[in-house]
Amino acid sequence: MIEAIDIHKSFDDKEVLKGISTKFEKGKTNLIIGQSGSGKTVLLKSLVGLHDITSGDIRYDDNSFLSMDNASKKRLRQDIGMLFQGSALFDSLTVEENVRFPLDMFTNWSLEKKRERANFCINRVKLENANHKFPSEISGGMQKRVAIARAIALNPKYLFCDEPNSGLDPRTSIVIDELIHEITKEFDMTTIVNTHDMNSVMGIGENIIFIYEGRKLWEGTKDDIFHVQNKELEDFIFASKLFKKIRENNG
Amino acid sequence: MEYYYFYLSKLRTIFHTTMRMFYHLGRYAIFLKKVFGKPEKHSVFIKQIVREIDKLGIDSLGIVMIISAFMGAVITLQTAYNIDLPIIPKYTVGLAARDSILLEFSSTIVGLILAGKVGSNIASEIGTMRVTEQIDALEIMGINPAGYLILPKVVAFVFIIPALTVISMGVGITGGYLAGSLTGEVPGPDYIYGIQFAFQPFYIVYALIKSVVFAFIIATISAYWGYHVQGGALEVGKASTKAVVASSVQILLFNLILTQLLLA
Ligand SMILES: Nc1ncnc2c1ncn2[C@@H]1O[C@H](COP(=O)(O)OP(=O)(O)OP(=O)(O)O)[C@@H](O)[C@H]1O
Ligand SMILES: [Mg+2]
């Protein structure tokens, strides 16, 4: 479980996060939704410590992240897998080397064992015949899969995904969403996913928080999201004509 | 009164420029501290150094050799045409060409050329990794990205540049010899006599010291600009330009300082 306690984050004098408190539960896909520019990426990067927060605290299974010394932070980092908005694969390394990279850096395993683990992860994300290709030689959807494989290589307890389906077609998006969901259950991880895609919300949203201009306006599950009386959230959900139609048909 | 405002605004510009300089100096110092943090894993570190020596050093060999050959030739011919007096012996040309090449050309000019080639290469590589979040990806794994990515480059470049400098000296002097004898301006034996005449081995040491300092400047300043890129591809391009300009200016500045320290 990861807990955010009244997180504030400013860049110079611009306040992007204005006091966010919430809990992200273990074994569930926790979604952060909100418009472009609402602060989702900043929140995610603050949670993992890529941004230093201005005030507040972050707790990983009851350990305060801010009061950790560097050695514990480093240990915690190895329990974190992260999927970036643009995949962030190392473009000088092949697919297999990308997935093996965390193992190369943090284990003393033999090459054979590392390759075995890398291949397990690559198979888990259903990638075939791509081991020796470079990131520039594979499609965006495949890159996302490689990034997932790399993120789970060290068997992390926490998985962070920043818009895992940005730039993908709707079908591939669903496949990636489901992959993240399955992996979360399979390895009992605390998974946090940033998205502004309502399809993801309806597909895998077990625990959802809605961010608007740096504030949390709503928190709940995909089952009650349609019954909320909140102008900003409704604007967000029914921005899509499809969802508007569904609502009209349901009366 | 108008003058008063004019000078006030000038003063303000000077103040801001100075503050920015201190800002970058401070950030550069913090950056260096990160770069020289303990490397993650020695086996990986060594492997990276070898790769960087290949990428930064061996790949620069071609341009260094071509430019050295032509510059050696031009220096020799220009010197020959300029000292046309019969009382000055021909071998002086060899001597003058040798000293120009050893003292300035193979360290400073080659340094400036490498600032363009290697500096823009480092800045754009690191900058691209920054804007595509590859640096964040390293950080999230618990790796010190500055140390992991940049230290091998600095070490490799500082290590390889003396070799490039010595090669440049050899090729430059040979270029001068060929130009002199092929045009008949400076006969071969005169030239050879000239390059041996009153030879100061310290000049080579001086050039090597300079080149090592320049390599450090190029690698760290370019990496600094790449590492701190914010934005996208456009900003990577700008950072790459800034890297080349800033390292060239620092090379010229340190050339002056080192000359004063080592030769005065
Ligand atoms: N490093 C930074 N420095 C200054 N401002 C920043 C920085 N990073 C983000 N911001 C600002 O914070 C706000 C929120 O940005 P953020 O990237 O979190 O949005 P987002 O919700 O992830 O949007 P998207 O869905 O488009 O990815 C934006 O206004 C952005 O300009
Ligand atoms: Mg974002």
CB within 8 Å: A106 and B141: yes
Is B105 within a domain? yes
CB within 8 Å: B132 and A86: yes
pLDDT more than 70, % of chain A? 100
The CA distance from A103 to the nearest CA of chain B, in Å, is 11
CB within 8 Å: A105 and B139: no
Atom of ligand 1 nearest to the CA of B230: 1
Answer whether A205 contacts ligand 1 (Cβ < 6 A): no
Q: What is the residue with the minimal CA distance to atom 7 of ligand 1?
A: A11
Answer whether A195 contacts ligand 1 (Cβ < 6 A): no
3-class SS at A109? Answer: coil
* Number of domains chain B is built from: 1
Q: What is the CATH number of domain A22-51+69-79+158-251?
A: 3.40.50.300
Element (H, E) at B10: helix B2-35
Q: What are phi and psi of A160, to 5 degrees?
A: -115, 130
Answer whether A37 contacts ligand 1 (Cβ < 6 A): yes
Predicted confidence at residue B8, as pLDDT, reads: 87
pLDDT at A251 over 70: no
* A141 vs A243, more confident: A141
What is the C-alpha radius of gyration for chain B, rounded to an integer number of angstroms? 22
What is the ipTM for the molecules in this complex? Answer: 0.90
On average, the pLDDT of chain A sits at 91
C-alpha to C-alpha distance for B161 and B213, rounded to whole angstroms: 10
C-alpha to C-alpha distance for B167 and B68, rounded to whole angstroms: 9
Is B83 within a domain? yes
What are the extents of the domains in chain A? Answer: 22-51+69-79+158-251, 91-155
Is B10 within a domain? no
C-alpha to C-alpha distance for A23 and A32, rounded to whole angstroms: 11
Mutate one of B55, B122, B133, B143 to test the A interface: name it (highest A CB count within 10 A). B133
Query: Which tokens is B140 given?
Result: 């999230």
Helix, strand, coil: what percent of chain B each, to 5? 85, 0, 15
In A66-185, where do the E strands start and end?
80-83, 158-162
Predicted confidence at residue B181, as pLDDT, reads: 93
> ∠ CA A200-A201-A206 to the nearest 5 degrees?
115
Q: Which of B4, B12, B18, B31 is nearest to B220 (CA)?
A: B31
Predicted confidence at residue A22, as pLDDT, reads: 96
Ligand 1: centre distance to CA A195 (Å)? 14
Q: What is the residue with the minimal CA distance to atom 2 of ligand 1?
A: A11
> ∠ CA A31-A26-A191 to the nearest 5 degrees?
40
Mutate one of A106, A152, A163, A192 to test the B interface: name it (highest B CB count within 10 A). A106
Mean pLDDT (whole number) for A152-174: 91
Predicted confidence at residue B109, as pLDDT, reads: 95
Query: Which tokens is B179 given?
Result: 């130009």
pLDDT tens sequence across B200-246: 999 999 999 999 999 999 999 999 999 999 999 999 999 999 999 99
- The sheet carrying A63-64 orders its strands as A14-24, A2-11, A55-60, A63-64
Mean pLDDT (whole number) for A171-189: 93
pLDDT at A48 over 70: yes
Give the pLDDT of chain B (264 residues) as one tens digit per residue.
677 888 888 899 999 999 999 999 999 999 999 999 888 788 889 999 999 999 999 999 999 999 999 999 999 999 999 887 888 888 999 999 999 999 999 999 999 999 999 999 999 999 999 999 999 999 999 899 999 999 999 999 999 999 999 999 999 999 999 999 999 988 999 999 999 998 999 999 999 999 999 999 999 999 999 999 999 999 999 999 999 999 999 999 999 999 999 988
C-alpha to C-alpha distance for B8 and A190, rounded to whole angstroms: 58
Mean pLDDT (whole number) for A125-141: 92
Is residue A160 within 8 Å of residue A187, measured between CB atoms?
no
CB within 8 Å: A88 and B136: yes
Mean pLDDT (whole number) for A241-247: 75
What is the 3-class SS of A113-162, one letter each residue? Answer: HHHHHHHHHHHHCCCCCCCCCCHHHCCHHHHHHHHHHHHHCCCCCEEEEE
C-alpha to C-alpha distance for A99 and B29, rounded to whole angstroms: 34
User: What is the residue range of B259's domain?
Assistant: 41-263
A82 closest CB neighbour out of B41, B44, B137: B137
**DSSP states along A56-75:** EEEEETTEESTT--HHHHHH
Q: Identify all chain B residues contacting A45, using CB atoms and an 8 Å cutoff.
A: 136
Query: Which tokens is B216 given?
Result: 């450090």
3-class SS at A122? Answer: helix
Q: What residue type is B261 in one-letter code?
A: L
Is B22 within a domain? no
CB within 8 Å: B134 and A89: yes
Q: What residue type is A86 in one-letter code?
A: G
pLDDT more than 90, % of chain A? 71
pLDDT tens sequence across A62-105: 899 999 998 899 889 989 999 998 889 999 999 999 999 999 99
**Would you call A123 exposed, middle or buried from its count of C-beta atoms within 10 A (0-12, 13-18, 19+)?**
exposed
Residue A218 CB coordination number (10 Å): 17
Is B155 within a domain? yes
3-class SS at A153? Answer: coil
Atom of ligand 1 nearest to the CA of A211: 21
Residue B129 CB coordination number (10 Å): 24
pLDDT at A202 over 70: yes
C-alpha to C-alpha distance for B198 and A149, rounded to whole angstroms: 66
